[in-house]
């Protein structure tokens, strides 16, 4: 019973091998994948919207195929997926360039503030010089 896990899709218990989903869900996903791929083979200029409409496969499923590297965007120039923050179309990573810059800026700012706070509250010097190189 050591490999018993809950399927990430349907939540049912199953014996886990390499897939995080049960056999039924795995097969269903593969069916959707080949459907999408078949459509894209014949329509390599399709947008995500069109693939969703034409195949009936949920947008998030198609996006997960793209993110898993199973659909190579290099072959499909019109295919893009939404930035996880502002939903503008992107073709790589999880965020568009604008959001990535914003988030990095925020991160840097909060890091600086944290350091500042630490310096304020820490008793004594925050930098220790060691001089044991003799
Ligand atoms: Zn399942
Ligand atoms: Zn964005």
pLDDT in tens, 29-67: 999 999 999 999 999 999 999 999 999 999 999 999 999
Can you list the positions of beta strands (E) in 20-124?
A: 81-82, 89-90
What is the spatial distance between Cα 73 and Cα 66, in angstroms, rounded to a whole number? 7
> Ligand 1 center to residue 34 CA distance, Å?
18
What is the spatial distance between Cα 98 and Cα 33, in angstroms, rounded to a whole number? 31
Whether the full predicted model's pTM is greater than 0.85, yes or no, is no
- pLDDT tens-place string over residues 64-79: 999 999 999 999 999 9
- Tally of CA atoms within 13 A in the half-sphere of 54 that contains its CB: 14
> Ligand 2 center to residue 119 CA distance, Å?
34
> Ligand 1 center to residue 87 CA distance, Å?
29
Structure tokens at 33: 């994948």
Instruction: Name the β-bridge partners of 89.
Output: 82
- Cβ(119)–Cβ(126) under 8 Å? yes
> Ligand 1 center to residue 20 CA distance, Å?
9
């Amino acid at each position: 019973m050591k490999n018993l896990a809950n399927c990430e899709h349907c939540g049912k218990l199953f014996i886990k091998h390499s897939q995080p989903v049960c056999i039924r869900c795995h097969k269903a996903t593969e069916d959707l994948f080949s459907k999408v791929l078949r459509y894209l083979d014949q329509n390599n200029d399709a947008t995500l919207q069109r693939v969703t409409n034409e195949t009936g496969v949920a947008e998030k499923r198609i996006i997960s195929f793209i993110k898993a590297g199973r659909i190579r965007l290099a072959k499909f120039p019109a295919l893009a997926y939404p930035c996880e923050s502002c939903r503008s179309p992107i073709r790589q990573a999880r965020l568009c360039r604008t959001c990535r810059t914003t988030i990095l800026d925020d991160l840097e700012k909060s890091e600086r503030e944290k350091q500042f706070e630490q310096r304020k509250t820490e008793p004594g010097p925050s930098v220790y010089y060691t001089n044991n190189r003799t």
